[in-house]
Amino acid sequence: MQFLQFAGAAVIAYLGLPAGFFLAYLTKEELPTARKYLPVLSSLLFVAVMVLVANYYKFGLALKVVVYAAAIALSIRANSAILFLVLGIALGLASEKDSQALVIAALVFLFGLVSGSVVFPAFQRARLSRKAGLRLLATMLVRNSTFILGVVIGLAAGYAK
Q: What's the rounded Cα separation, in Å, for the pair 54 and 48? A: 10
Whether residue 29 lies inside any domain: the answer is: no
Rg value, the chain, Cα: 16
Q: What percent of the chain has pLDDT over 70?
A: 94
What pLDDT was estimated at residue 110?
A: 95
pLDDT exceeds cutoff 90 at 33: no
The answer to the question of residue 65 being in a domain is yes
pLDDT above 70 (res 137): yes
How far is the C-alpha of 132 from the C-alpha of 139, rounded, in Å? Answer: 10
Under the phi-then-psi rule, with left for phi > 0, alpha for psi from -120 to 50, and beta for the rest, what region is 62? alpha
| DSSP 8-class letter at 15 | T
Q: Are 106 and 54 within 8 A, CB to CB?
A: no
pLDDT category at 127 given cuts 50, 70, 90 is low
Cα distance between residue 161 and residue 30, in whole Å: 47
Number of domains making up the chain? 1
When comparing pLDDT for 15 and 31, which is higher?
Answer: 15
pLDDT per position as a tens digit, 101-123: 899 999 999 999 999 888 776 66
Range of the domain at 110: 3-24+34-160
Between helices 98-126 and 38-56, what is the axis angle to 10°? 160
Is residue 71 over pLDDT 70? yes
> What's the pTM value of the predicted model, to 2 decimals?
0.89
